[in-house]
A and B are shown apart, each in its own frame.
Chain A
């Protein structure tokens, strides 16, 4: 059974850092790009960024709102994708979700339950 489990969320002060994890199981993690989305309380969905699979260079892309502050990485040996969030702002408060993309037409089919990040002093 495919599972994606986000963790690492919590309350953090503005300007501080936090690292989220997306732990995958039930599929060959290395065969998928991993995607991060977020949803501010009571708001719509926003794409954060993704990391391609190693066979596509393992490169990353980010939304303009997080570029330069957030970094996505992956550890294929542990089946974990990370979202390192630096210089956090109050507007980064959201539930953060991860999803997957096999880069061959199967994408967004599984999502984690999300982890809440609250940026507040």
Chain B
């Protein structure tokens, strides 16, 4: 199974500052035939289902604010919130769908400092 490891487990960032979450996969999730990384990022607030933010490692989902961006390739990925807003307080998860079993990172809790 592909193991997804996020870092840090939690972070506190001041309003308006940058938040960076890292996700590392135990093997590459880049499919060479189409040059796509099979990696998604989600935001989850208490009592709500996950919300897809980023797909294919860097494609922002429709309606997601442009302060959210995804980058990386192969085994190392990053979710960046360029200017943290109060409504961004949540858990964030990465997920690989390169091969089954699809697996998630353990989650990162983002709070306001």
Q: Which positions in A face B, CB cutoff 8 Å?
A: 37, 44-47, 61, 63-64, 97, 105, 107-109, 111-114
Contact = CB atoms under 8 A, between A and B. Distances in A.
Interface in B55-81: 55-56, 61
Given A45-B95, A97-B49, A114-B49, A107 B55 contact: yes
What class of interface size applies to chain B in its complex with A?
20 to 34
A108 to B, nearest CB: 5
Q: For the complex, would chain B's binding face be called helix, strand, loop or mixed by DSSP majority?
A: loop
Contacts of A113: 48-49
A26 to B, nearest CB: 15
A111 B104 contact: no
B104 A47 contact: yes
Contacts of B48: 113
B97 A45 contact: no
A59 B52 CA distance: 25
